[in-house]
Structure 1
Amino acid sequence: MFQEALNYPRNSDSAVKTIVIGGLLLVLSFLFVPVFAVLGYVVRSLRGVLAGVEEPPAFDDWGDLLTDGAKAFAIGLAYSLVPAVIAVVAVVATGATLGVTGPGRGAGLAVGLVALVAALLVVVVAVLAAYVIPAAVVAWVRADSLGAAFSPAELRVYAFSRTYATGWLVAVGISLLGSIAVGALNAVLIGALLAPFVTFYANVAGAHAIGSAVREMPAVEDGTEAPVSRPAA
């Protein structure tokens, strides 16, 4: 799965052109709209892999691309708000603890303990969100309904699947490799220019890892029948 995912972005005669376009869009990500285009392309890649297509798609039909990207962004934002809210509550709780205990040696210990617990909670929830977001996107793509991205019944099929978990871990591994490569490139001025292209490549490869894992999921896992893939408009 790992090797196939790494090779996926190159499985096309127009691979160089596609990677160049994706990297340039990330360079222009400060304009925000190009981010939707990149996310839309990742979604289109995921949709193709789920359908059994092993050749990455082209950058065309930009309206659909931007629409899919906006939907994927909305899904990610919605789930990302959970750890953000917990972080805000943690700050408030830390302040309240300080207000109750007042200054002193015991106050510092209490505030430190509350802050540590809050920080650990935020990290755990953030990791869970990172795990659920791809599953939510898969649920949306397969059901062709945004509601499926927030349906506990749909998400349970993927989130509790060992097959999905394996694909997610492979995608994370590819992302980490991409981050290491980007870090190395950033150490060299000319190399830093290649960082957006490496990031785009890693994202597309990660989409293949998750898509192929979901495609290989057994019809019934953990007692729940996997949703039947339906074509998305």
Structure 2
Amino acid sequence: MLSEAIEYLKNSDDAWKTSIIGGVLLLFSFLLIPIFLVWGYIVRVLDRTSRGDDEAPVFEEWGELTVDGAKAFAIILAYSLVPVVVGGILFGGVWLATGGTPGSIGAAGFVLAGLLTVALFVAAAYVSPAALANFTAERRIGAGFDLESLRPVLSTGTYATGWLLAAGIVIVGSFVSGILNAVPFVGTALGAIVAFYALVAAYYVIGRTWRDLHPVSVDEPNEESPTERPAV
């Protein structure tokens, strides 16, 4: 699936146009609306790939794109805030318990709090792609937090394998983007394009994985289907 993911956007008719628009939007993501548009595009990638349509979408119908992206961003933000809030509580609790001058026990407490926070960040990163896929299938924000529907998917080897591949694509893309960012202006722009391309490729994998777990015809609307049995 790796080669298909890498070639997904490349093989589309508007590959360069879409990649450049996506890269520019990422560059201005601090303005919020651009990042909504990026995530709106990702929702369309998930929508198509989860139904077996391997034709990459284009940037159009910007209003709908913004609304879908804002909802997707809200879901991702909610999952991201969980480790931030819990981590803050854990570190704050250790700090208060040790009076701000931790000894060996306090240091151990900070290490444990750090490990738990990292574990929560990984868990949030693991759940959020599936949450976006479920939201895309039902177009309800609540679907992104429907743990009863998500749990059978998250516990499968199919999803775990797809997630690891998608995460690897994002990590490599971020590494390449970081190298390009060292070159002023042109490198920064190219880095943003690479980051967008990697994000799309990663969610192509998530969409294909979701389809494996929820087989739906390309001509049918997205409907809930039986999931794969949880891996033991």
Same fold (TM over 0.5): yes
Greater Cα radius of gyration, structure 1 or 2 = 1
Alignment of 1:213 with 2:209, yes or no, is yes
Counterpart in the other structure of 1:222: 229
Query: Bigger CA drift: 178-187 or 62-71?
Result: 178-187
Q: Which runs of 4+ in 1 moved over 4 A?
A: none
1:193 positional shift: 2.6
Unmatched runs of 5 consecutive residues or more in structure 2: 215-225
- 1:12-41 per-residue CA deviation (whole Å, 9 max, x = no partner) reads 111111111111111221212101000100
- 1:72-125 per-residue CA deviation (whole Å, 9 max, x = no partner) reads 1110111112101111112211222212xx85xxx4212111100000000001
- What amino acid does structure 2 have at the position aligned with 1:216? D
- What amino acid does structure 2 have at the position aligned with 1:133? S
1:133 positional shift: 0.5
Q: Pairwise CA RMSD of aligned residues? A: 1.7
- 1:139-189 per-residue CA deviation (whole Å, 9 max, x = no partner) reads 111123222211121111221121111111111110111012112212333
Query: Bigger CA drift: 23-32 or 124-133?
Result: 23-32
- What amino acid does structure 1 have at the position aligned with 2:207? G
Instruction: Measure, in 1, the Cα distance between the counterparts of 2:210 and 2:79.
Output: 20
Which of residues 163, 187, 202 is equivalent to 2:198?
202
Alignment of 1:153 with 2:148, yes or no, is yes
Structure 1 residues 220 and 140 mapped into 2: Cα distance closer, same or farther (>3 Å)? closer
1:220 positional shift: 4.4
TM-score w.r.t. length of structure 1: 0.89
Alignment of 1:178 with 2:185, yes or no, is no
**Percentage identity across paired residues of the two chains:** 45
Alignment of 1:74 with 2:63, yes or no, is no
Counterpart in the other structure of 1:114: 109
Structure 1 residues 64 and 84 mapped into 2: Cα distance closer, same or farther (>3 Å)? same
